[in-house]
């Protein structure tokens, strides 16, 4: 195929994609009626059949633990006896209290769903569908209906979105709040008081869900609200800056009060976060200036394997080359803001589906790239033609990328579920299983991330850390349970379960 034929094919493909997007935007009712059930069903299917409904990360389990506690009508649980045997990442044993160290904004949502008797695994899929809608709405408002539809399609096609939307992570919820706030801030008429009030409320809840992300993204969104429309007074249709900021603050005030009260209940200080004991040492850790570069490069690698591979490259290109009429102020820079905010935080993120610390800014990145490529009804330049070709190829490989990730993650989860499955196969009752080392061969996990028990330790089997035979026997006797030792056999990629003898 010659150059002219290739260009003709590319032009026809571009025109066809743009035409389909425009037709979908002309019939939003039909489009949403078809797309949203597909998104929800896809995310539920991934949760149930790929991720097996398992909280694959310690973060996810901590959120579920916290939500179960709130749904039970309390802020903390009674710490178990011999609590050092039940060490669990992100769960704090503080004297007689046991509680999650994480922010409360997302667990409040899960707790409400639990109290209503609805399945928890349905929450993020519904929020994922809302993310697709908000992405389309924001892309439409910032650029055009064509851009809105295509940005939503690219977001929805990526494993980055699909796996996080099927998980129990807080990112889908936090990202939805920030998209909603940005949508309000993008109005032409920002003078009504409910606009900054709504932005303050949404950003405040996002901060209560994910402290750093809410602040790092909330500030640029508020600055976008305060943009000038070029009138002689500099105010345009936004109203006076002091008035807008006052209403933003009032909108966020309820969440400030909740956070202060929550901190007082746990730490005795309204300014001391429950996350500090675990995260304080990660900020500006020794060598952070070069380790930060290493970690950010890892995040970029994950972008390339969980999203269309050229997406970040196109974002950087258009960030420097996009003409003035395509600029959307601080919203264009949200992905950069997250990189800057995370640079001194020396933590890769543990188990994750893609660069999850950047999930909330992903739709903004996609909207900016799609808005830059699809700014015209037809391809008009060589640079635009190349960008479209690269993006089309990158999106085309997403099904293959998804299949690879799905097979790998399911295998990892099956290994991590082995302790509970082993206990079920053995028919253990009134038992305590002491686990040692790490579990799994594909991507092993420390047993301190698998000592997962009900909030009242009432299950037939409880899971503990193996310390020594004498210590294990002491714990088992104190609990009145039969002790078993669990160990992962690395050579055979399976486990060994042994009853512990505590006879003198």
Q: What is the pLDDT of residue 132?
A: 98
307: confidence class by pLDDT, cuts 50, 70, 90: very high
Q: Which of 499, 491, 486, 482 is nearest to 437 (CA)?
A: 486
Q: For residues 171-182, give the mean pLDDT.
A: 98
Q: Which of 270, 259, 278 is nearest to 62 (CA)?
A: 278
Q: Is the pLDDT of residue 237 over 80?
A: no
CB of 119 within 8 A of CB of 129? Answer: no
Helices 194-209 & 211-225, crossing angle to 10 degrees? 160
Q: Is the pLDDT of residue 143 over 90?
A: yes
CB of 451 within 8 A of CB of 87? Answer: yes
CB of 437 within 8 A of CB of 450? Answer: no
Q: Is the pLDDT of residue 6 over 70?
A: no
Per-residue model confidence as pLDDT tens digits over 326-365: 999 999 999 999 999 998 888 877 789 999 999 999 999 9
Q: Is the pLDDT of residue 234 over 50?
A: no
What global pTM score does this model have? Answer: 0.95
Q: What is the pLDDT of residue 4?
A: 60
Q: What is the pLDDT of residue 480?
A: 94
Per-residue model confidence as pLDDT tens digits over 181-233: 999 999 999 999 999 999 999 999 999 999 999 999 999 999 999 998 754 43
Give the DSSP letter of residue 347: -
Q: What is the pLDDT of residue 276?
A: 86
Q: What is the pLDDT of residue 187?
A: 94
CB of 355 within 8 A of CB of 302? Answer: yes
Backbone angles phi, psi at 348, to 5 degrees: -80, -20
Q: Which of 178, 202, 173, 208 is nearest to 102 (CA)?
A: 208
Q: For residues 420-449, give the mean pLDDT.
A: 94
Backbone angles phi, psi at 78, to 5 degrees: -70, 130
Per-residue model confidence as pLDDT tens digits over 34-89: 999 999 999 999 999 999 999 999 999 999 999 999 999 999 999 999 999 999 98
Q: Which residue has the higher pLDDT, 228 or 440?
A: 440
Q: Is the pLDDT of residue 16 over 90?
A: yes
Q: What is the pLDDT of residue 47?
A: 98
Q: Is the pLDDT of residue 278 over 80?
A: no
């Amino acid at each position: 195929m010659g150059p002219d034929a290739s260009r003709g094919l590319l032009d026809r493909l571009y025109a066809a994609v743009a035409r389909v997007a425009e037709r979908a935007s002309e019939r939003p009712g039909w489009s949403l009626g078809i797309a949203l059930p597909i998104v929800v069903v896809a995310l539920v299917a991934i949760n149930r059949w790929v991720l097996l409904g398992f909280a694959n990360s310690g973060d996810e389990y901590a959120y579920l633990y916290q939500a179960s506690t709130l749904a039970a009508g309390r802020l903390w649980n009674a710490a178990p006896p011999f609590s050092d045997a039940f060490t669990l990442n992100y769960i704090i044993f503080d004297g007689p209290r046991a509680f999650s160290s994480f922010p409360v904004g997302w667990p409040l949502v899960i707790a409400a769903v639990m109290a209503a008797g609805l399945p928890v695994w349905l929450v993020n899929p519904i929020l994922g569908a809302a993310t697709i809608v908000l992405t389309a709405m924001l892309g439409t408002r910032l650029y055009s209906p064509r851009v809105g539809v295509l940005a939503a399609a690219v977001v929805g096609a990526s494993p980055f979105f699909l796996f996080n939307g099927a998980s129990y992570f807080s990112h889908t919820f936090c990202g939805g709040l920030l998209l909603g706030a940005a949508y309000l801030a993008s109005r032409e008429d920002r003078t009504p008081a409910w606009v900054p009030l709504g932005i303050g409320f949404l950003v405040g809840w996002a901060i209560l869900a994910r402290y750093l992300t809410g602040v790092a993204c909330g500030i640029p969104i508020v600055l976008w609200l305060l943009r000038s429309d070029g009138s002689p007074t500099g105010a345009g249709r936004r109203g006076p800056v002091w008035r807008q900021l006052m209403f933003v603050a009032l909108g966020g005030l309820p969440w400030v009060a909740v956070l202060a009260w929550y901190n007082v209940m746990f730490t005795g200080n309204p300014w001391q976060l429950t996350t500090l004991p675990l995260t304080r040492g990660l900020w500006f850790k020794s060598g952070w200036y070069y380790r930060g570069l290493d970690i950010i490069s890892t995040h970029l690698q994950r972008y390339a394997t969980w999203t269309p591979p050229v997406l970040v490259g196109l974002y950087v290109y258009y960030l420097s080359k996009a003409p003035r009429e395509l600029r959307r102020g601080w919203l264009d820079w949200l992905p950069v803001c997250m990189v800057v905010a995370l640079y001194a935080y020396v933590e890769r993120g543990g188990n994750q589906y893609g660069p999850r610390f950047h999930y909330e800014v992903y739709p903004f990145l996609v909207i900016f790239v799609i808005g830059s490529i699809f700014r015209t009804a037809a391809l008009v330049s060589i640079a635009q033609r190349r960008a479209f070709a690269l993006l089309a190829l990158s999106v085309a490989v997403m099904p293959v990328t998804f299949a690879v990730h799905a097979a790998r993650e399911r295998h990892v989860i099956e290994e991590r579920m082995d302790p509970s499955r082993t206990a079920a196969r053995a028919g253990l009752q009134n038992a305590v299983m002491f686990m040692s080392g790490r579990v799994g061969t594909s991507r092993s996990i420390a047993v301190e991330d698998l000592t997962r028990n009900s909030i009242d330790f009432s299950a037939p089997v409880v899971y503990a850390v193996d310390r020594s035979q004498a210590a294990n026997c002491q714990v088992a006797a104190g609990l009145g349970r039969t002790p078993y030792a669990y160990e992962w056999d690395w050579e055979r990629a399976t486990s060994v379960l042994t009853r512990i003898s505590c006879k003198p």
